[in-house]
Amino acid sequence: MPVTASEGDCPFCVRLAGNRDLITNNHLCAAFFDATPLNPGHVLVVPRRHEADFLALGAEEHAAILGMAVELRALLDERYRPEGFNLGVNIGEAAGQTVGHAHLHLIPRYAGDVSDPRGGVRWVIPERARYWDETQ
């Protein structure tokens, strides 16, 4: 699936413009539940400015997004009681980005949601994820 390229066809921009189902928001970013969550409580934190590349955002936007993720953790801890979290960002099609609007995934993790959680985000490349097998 190609990354969406413009504000006009960006589902995040549409959602932000209508302030639809926002968990929290400020002048730089907003958060809403992922439409296809990996786990209960999976949230996206997105900048209000349409920019596909997360690393191209400004320092103030990065700070606002990370600060919002920290605030959301308290809400998710209370509501869903996860045992951990993964934070994730995909930049470009090669990295799996499908919506061309920068966003941070805040994914609650629960004991037993996968058989062996070791390696966490390293599983984006499954063939290389099990580094512990090669270091012994």
Residues in contact with 34: Cβ distance below 8 Å, sequence separation at least 6, in sequence order:
42, 43, 44, 105
Q: What are the phi and psi torsion angles at 88 (to 5°)? A: -145, 145
Instruction: Give all strands of the β-sheet with 29-33 in edge-to-edge order.
Output: 24-25, 29-33, 43-47, 104-109, 84-88
Helix (H, G, I), strand (E, B) or coil at 86: strand
Residues noted as catalytic: 103
* Type and span of the H or E element at 13: helix 11-17
With beta carbons less than 8 A apart as the criterion, state whether 99 and 57 touch: no
Dist CA 106 CA 66 (whole Å): 10
